[in-house]
């Protein structure tokens, strides 16, 4: 039933499928269900049922397209299958991890401090009541947690470009201008991720 309804409504979904996909679906529709159209489907299965199936199919397709878009973006961010970002060569590609980060966001957890103060105060009162004299109360600040959103990226370098940027550690060290050659550099920065984190700095952060 879903196939029949979906095939009948194929013209309404331009933009979700290519013209080639629609043409193929129309050929299959005419072959398997000659003369089938939207009204025939609505009469056969009920208009509400047909529209519900159409809505579900459209939502499924949109979800699929969004997942494919995210995967393509991830591939570009991480230079999957990419030639050298600096010269375009595909020889001996090496990758340099880096990130573009947003502003740091610091949160403080006051609960350990409150518990600590309460416990220290209780101990001080008890000590004074027992005649132990002065009792030091140690107050500590709240625990601090720093987080920031980071877009993980990779710079693709061919063997020649990597060698030109390699120091005594035998690791390539790109310049800021090199990182800026990443195809999504400007878009990511425009989204608010403006702080460059090179490979070593990137390892200091763990995913939430």
- pTM across the whole model: 0.63
Rounded CA gap, 172 and 161, in Å? 9
* Pairing assessment for the beta strands 150-157 and 195-198 based on DSSP bridges: unpaired
Q: What is the pLDDT of residues 120-167, one digit of tens each?
A: 444 444 443 444 443 333 334 455 666 788 999 999 999 999 999 987
Beta bridge partner(s), residue 154? 97
Q: How many helices (H) and strands (E) does the chain have?
A: 9, 5
| Coil vs helix vs strand at 109 | strand
pLDDT at 171: 84
Kind and range of the H or E run holding 50: helix 47-77
86 in Cβ contact with 178 (< 8 Å): yes
CA triplet 117, 122, 128: central angle to 5 degrees?
Answer: 125
Instruction: Give a three-class secondary structure readout of 147-186.
Output: ECCEEEEEEEECHHHHHCCECCCCCECCCHHHHCCCCCHH
pLDDT at 130: 42
Using pLDDT thresholds of 50, 70 and 90, give the confidence band for residue 113: very low
Query: How far are the Cα atoms of 63, 99, 103, 140, 143 from residue 78, in angstroms, in the given order?
Result: 22, 10, 22, 43, 34
Model pLDDT for residues 17-63, shown as the tens digit of each residue:
777 776 777 777 777 767 666 677 677 777 777 777 777 777 888 88
Q: What does DSSP assign to residue 100?
A: E
Per-residue confidence (pLDDT) for residue 74, from 0 to 100: 93
**Residue 117 pLDDT more than 90?**
no
pLDDT at 10 over 60: no
């Amino acid at each position: 039933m879903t196939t029949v309804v979906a095939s009948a409504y194929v013209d309404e979904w331009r933009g979700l499928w290519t013209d080639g996909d629609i043409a193929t679906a129309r050929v299959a529709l005419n072959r398997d269900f000659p003369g089938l159209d939207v009204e025939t489907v609505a009469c056969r299965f009920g208009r509400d049922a047909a529209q519900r199936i159409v809505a579900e199919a459209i939502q499924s397709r949109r979800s699929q397209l969004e997942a494919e878009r995210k995967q393509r973006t991830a591939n570009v961010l991480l230079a999957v299958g990419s030639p050298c970002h600096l010269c375009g060569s595909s020889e001996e590609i090496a990758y340099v991890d880096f990130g573009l980060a947003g502003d740091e966001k610091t949160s403080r957890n006051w609960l350990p401090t409150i518990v600590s103060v309460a416990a220290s105060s209780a101990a001080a009162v008890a000590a004074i009541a027992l005649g132990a004299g002065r009792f030091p109360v140690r107050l500590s600040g709240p625990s601090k947690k720093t987080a920031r959103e980071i877009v993980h990226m990779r710079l693709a370098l061919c063997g020649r470009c990597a060698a030109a940027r390699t120091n005594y550690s035998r690791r390539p060290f790109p310049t800021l201008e090199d990182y800026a050659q990443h195809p999504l550099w400007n878009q990511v920065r425009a989204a608010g991720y403006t702080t460059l984190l090179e490979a070593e700095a990137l390892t200091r952060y763990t995913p939430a």
